[in-house]
Structure 1
Amino acid sequence: MLKDKDIREPLFTYLEERYGKVRIFEEKNIGMNSRADVFLVLEDRLVGIEIKSDADSYTRLAGQVEDYDRCFDENIVVVGSTHGAHIEQHVPMHWGILTVEQDENGRCDFYILREPQKNPNLKMTEKIRLLWRPELANIQARHDLFKYPGKSKLFVQEYLIKTLEPDLLHREISHELFERDYTKIHDTINEYRTAHGAQPRRRRKRRKRKKRTTA
């Protein structure tokens, strides 16, 4: 029986081989009540990935599907062999399905049951929330847009959505996520807040995110 921990590392290797230039994030809060197991940053889109190992059930999947669909351009569910026969009944048609099985040597083999399609339910207002305020400011600067230093993060998110063409904004979001450095972002945010008259934030312990970028 394959468990989540058995699937992840082989899955990351498979995804890097399949997509080429990619950055992989793990365990990201999304939507109202969900946490994305994995999401991929590609040059023009984000791909959400939900893992359902042989040890998992479908109890929360309906709500997870709704939240993934709010945030990501494409979505894929990765399932162990016990779910392979009936997973199509539990995810929308635009979701990709990837099955995983162990060979006789204990290695994971991945099989594409269904390719992911463009998500028709994406909410750009939810996707752009994945960026931090300094990252939004980077996009404003690159396009010589008004900085609105006294405005809220929500205001700037909506401003960028209204101002930039969707295809361009998708690429800009990917660019910022490719460049994100978790070792420096706390200082970057506090520098931005101090420069705009806000109190710096206390440093909090964060779960380590996996950074993988391959060309």
Structure 2
Amino acid sequence: MLYDKEIREPLFDYLEERYGKIRIIEEKSMGRSRADIIMVMEEHIVGIEIKSDADTYERLKRQVKDYNKFCDKNYIVIGKSHEKHIEEHVPADWGIITIHKSKGEYVIEEKRSLKDNPKRKMDWQIRFMWRPELNHLLELNHLPKYKQKSKAFVQQKLLEKVDLHVLKRQMCEELFERDYTLWDEIMEEYQKEQNRNK
């Protein structure tokens, strides 16, 4: 029987080997759910939900709805005990990865490839961006700074004015570069700038 915390490290190794350049963000708030893992790629935001052998499907229906709003593609990663029934609980475009231990080694298999999520929406995905990151996106795309405007206003302007394919690449690059250790510092500097502009 494998637990969530045992699954993560071998899973991360597998994903790095499989996809190359990725950034893993753990426990990311997303609508009414919390994504176990957001995997950032150069042009995609991939949601990954873990259901270990100790987990039930109790919250999965709601989680699937939130993953589908925010992510371009999705995986569910399961312990062996869920293998028989998992396809009844996730959409057909979700990839399925199984993980179990055999003779002391982790065995990871991709049971079903992930496909594009037809329900993804850029206006949800752009909510992943911090305000300073949105400001950088405005700058990259030669748009006004909109200093007095709300975060929602800036998000909408970017969606209206920038080619969505270009914007997605830029958003992924921002997520690759994000430094969580600087969060307090970044937000403090942003607040000072806001106060100076009042």
Amino acid across the alignment from 1:18 = R
Amino acid across the alignment from 2:45 = L
C-alpha offsets along residues 130-163 of structure 1, whole Å, 9 cap, x if unaligned?
A: 1100000011111111111000001000111111
Amino acid across the alignment from 1:40 = M
| TM-score for the superposition, normalised by structure 2 | 0.96
C-alpha offsets along residues 163-203 of structure 1, whole Å, 9 cap, x if unaligned?
A: 1111111101101001111122221222122112279xxxx
Match of 2:25 in 1: 25
Instruction: Evaluate the alpha carbon distance shift between residue 185 and residue 103 of structure 1 in structure 2; reply closer, same or farther with a 3 A threshold.
Output: same
Amino acid across the alignment from 2:192 = T
Match of 2:159 in 1: 161
C-alpha distance in structure 1 between counterparts of 2:97 and 2:88, whole Å: 14
Report the alpha carbon displacement of residue 19 of structure 1 after superposing the two structures with TM. Answer: 0.8
Q: Secondary structure at the match of 2:192?
A: helix
Match of 1:132 in 2: 130
Amino acid across the alignment from 1:88 = E
Match of 1:206 in 2: none
Q: Secondary structure at the match of 2:180?
A: coil
Match of 1:38 in 2: 37
Instruction: Evaluate the alpha carbon distance shift between residue 198 and residue 7 of structure 1 in structure 2; reply closer, same or farther with a 3 A threshold.
Output: farther
Amino acid across the alignment from 1:4 = D
Match of 1:141 in 2: 139
* Structure with higher helix content: 2
Match of 2:50 in 1: 51
RCO comparison, higher one (Cα < 8 Å, 6+): 1
Amino acid across the alignment from 2:148 = G
C-alpha distance in structure 1 between counterparts of 2:196 and 2:10, whole Å: 44
Aligned with residue 174 of structure 2, among 173, 176, 199: 176
Amino acid across the alignment from 1:117 = K
Amino acid across the alignment from 1:51 = I
Instruction: Evaluate the alpha carbon distance shift between residue 92 and residue 146 of structure 1 in structure 2; reply closer, same or farther with a 3 A threshold.
Output: same
Match of 1:151 in 2: 149
Amino acid across the alignment from 1:12 = F
Q: How many residues align?
A: 197
C-alpha distance in structure 1 between counterparts of 2:141 and 2:184, whole Å: 24
Which structure 2 residues correspond to residues 71-150 of structure 1 after superposition, within 5 A?
A: 71-105=70-104, 107-150=105-148
Match of 2:187 in 1: 189
C-alpha offsets along residues 8-31 of structure 1, whole Å, 9 cap, x if unaligned?
A: 111011111111111001001101
Q: Secondary structure at the match of 2:181?
A: coil
C-alpha distance in structure 1 between counterparts of 2:154 and 2:172, whole Å: 17
C-alpha distance in structure 2 between counterparts of 1:40 and 1:120, whole Å: 18
| TM-score for the superposition, normalised by structure 1 | 0.89
Q: Secondary structure at the match of 2:81?
A: coil
Runs of at least 5 residues in structure 2 that lack an aligned partner in the other structure: none
Runs of 4+ residues over 3 Å off in structure 1? none
